[in-house]
């Protein structure tokens, strides 16, 4: 983190010829358990990664916001005195949307400023780099304007920015995890009430391995949208207002009416809601055998009932599982939306390096792909440095 901050400062100075006065950071996130149930009033249990977006910034005395990026040549300029709308390049719509809604929520003007962006959150791995980007911009704006927002308000305005400016109808998990994250805490989010609860993850003997398979598959059936519609259809057939009110016996009773696909989607939703509740209890009780079993069961359900896994994700989980408790692996599962992206493996800290090496070698042998694998423990959410 210190290296990233220094790179942000140096990049700002070389780009704009002065020293930054504000440094903001916001982390990516990984979800330990609770997949594809955020839009079903379920529970999710992500945490903030140690990998962050960092923005160095300073007022520039104009009405123009200028953004430089470590990974993109050139500077984009955005007029902050008038209406802020979508434009090009495409990535600029993230800060455009955040500035638009920050100004609306804070009820303030945004002065012109210069900003330099750098990140070590892997992109394309289902680790919410977009949410980290949004939260880092919103937090930087707090420093530039002096207007401090409520954490939930800040997270929700970033979600709205992604909906409207980036045209991605994401749930609340990504922004909440990046905003509410704390060191040694998971963020258990009740997606029905929209309230987060911090779950202790203090045992230093536990580490999480995040393995980006470095693949992303497109599905011809519309992937995400078709599955979300199946959950809506299933709930309508059962005749209840929320999946939180549905039992597995309700799903089984409606099986013939639902048909096979909708039935299996509903089977996953009810099972995953309960698995997430049970995982939080197992973690609190230091019952790691149960926690590991719940992670494997979650992956199996996502693979077989929700059908959002893929060969590469299954291979990565199988590699981790084959090492077993003797090798230090407690549990593993795919994480994120699926069809590629990353897996999450809970393991013993002192064996993490050996597990990472084995996963890297065996995955490359079986797929020909070099994965991107790193370890992380729950870290602090969006903040001013």
Region of 61 please: left (phi>0), alpha (psi -120 to 50) or beta.
Answer: left
Within 10 angstroms of residue 141's Cβ, the number of other Cβ atoms is 29
Residue 66 pLDDT class (50, 70, 90 cuts): very high
Contact 211, 370 (CB under 8 A): no
pLDDT at position 116, please? 98
What CA–CA distance (Å, rounded) separates 385 from 245?
43
What CA–CA distance (Å, rounded) separates 158 from 305?
32
pLDDT at position 19, please? 97
- How confident is the model over 109-139, as pLDDT tens digits? 999 999 999 999 887 777 888 999 999 999 9
Residue 221 has pLDDT above 70, yes or no: no
What is the SS3 assignment for 104-126? Answer: HHHCCCCCCEEEEEEECCCCCCC
* Lowest mean pLDDT across 72-76, 136-140, 142-146, 158-162: 72-76
Residue 150 pLDDT class (50, 70, 90 cuts): very high
pLDDT at position 219, please? 59
Check if 79 is active-site: no
What CA–CA distance (Å, rounded) separates 317 from 179?
29
The mean predicted confidence, pLDDT, of the chain is 95
pLDDT at position 123, please? 77
What CA–CA distance (Å, rounded) separates 101 from 107?
10
Which H or E run contains 221?
none
Residue 247 pLDDT class (50, 70, 90 cuts): very high
- How confident is the model over 4-29, as pLDDT tens digits? 999 999 999 999 999 999 999 999 99
Query: What's 363's DSSP letter?
Result: H
Catalytic residue among 41, 69, 174, 250: 174
| Residue 214 backbone dihedrals phi, psi, to 5 degrees | 60, 30
- How confident is the model over 317-367, as pLDDT tens digits? 999 999 999 999 999 999 988 889 999 999 999 999 999 999 999 999 999
Q: Which residues lie closer than 8 Å to 165 by C-beta, 6 or more apart?
A: 86, 93, 94, 96, 97, 100
Which H or E run contains 28?
strand 22-31
Domains of the chain: 2-200 (3.30.230.10)
Q: How many residues can be counted in the chain?
A: 385
Closest CA to 175 of 190, 186, 160: 160
What CA–CA distance (Å, rounded) separates 245 from 239?
10
């Amino acid at each position: 983190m210190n290296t990233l901050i220094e790179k942000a400062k140096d990049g700002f100075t070389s780009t704009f010829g002065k020293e930054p006065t504000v440094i903001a950071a916001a982390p990516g996130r990984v979800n330990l358990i609770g997949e594809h149930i955020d839009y079903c009033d379920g529970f999710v249990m992500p945490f903030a990664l140690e990998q962050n977006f960092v923005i160095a910034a300073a007022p520039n005395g104009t009405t123009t916001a200028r953004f430089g990026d470590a990974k993109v040549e050139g500077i984009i300029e955005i007029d902050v005195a008038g209406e802020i709308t979508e434009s090009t390049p495409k990535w600029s719509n993230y800060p455009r949307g955040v500035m638009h809604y920050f100004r609306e929520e804070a009820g303030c003007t945004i002065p012109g400023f210069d900003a330099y962006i750098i990140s070590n959150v892997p992109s394309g791995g289902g680790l919410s780099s977009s949410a980290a980007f949004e939260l880092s911009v919103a937090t930087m704006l707090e420093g530039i304007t002096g207007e401090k927002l409520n954490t939930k308000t800040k997270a929700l305005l970033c979600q709205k920015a992604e909906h409207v400016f980036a045209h991605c109808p994401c749930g609340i998990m990504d922004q909440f995890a990046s905003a509410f994250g704390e060191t040694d805490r998971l963020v258990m989010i009740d997606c029905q009430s929209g309230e987060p609860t911090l779950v202790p993850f203090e045992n230093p003997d536990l580490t999480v391995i995040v393995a980006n398979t470095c693949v992303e598959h497109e599905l011809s059936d519309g992937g995400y949208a078709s599955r979300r519609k199946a959950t809506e259809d299933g709930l309508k057939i059962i005749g209840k207002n929320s999946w939180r009110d549905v039992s597995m016996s309700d799903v089984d009773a409606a099986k013939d009416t639902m048909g096979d696909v909708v039935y299996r989607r509903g089977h996953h939703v009810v099972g995953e809601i309960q698995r997430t509740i049970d995982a939080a209890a197992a973690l609190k009780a230091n019952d790691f055998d149960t926690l590991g079993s719940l992670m494997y069961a979650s992956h199996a359900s996502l693979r077989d009932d929700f059908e959002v896994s893929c060969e590469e994700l299954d291979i990565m989980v199988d590699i981790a599982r084959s090492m077993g408790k003797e090798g230090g692996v407690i549990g593993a599962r795919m994480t994120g939306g699926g069809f590629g992206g990353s897996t999450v493996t809970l393991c013993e800290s002192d064996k993490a390096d050996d597990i990472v090496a084995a996963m890297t070698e065996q995955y490359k042998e079986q797929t020909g792909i070099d994965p991107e694998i790193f370890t992380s423990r729950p870290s602090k959410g969006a903040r001013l440095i």
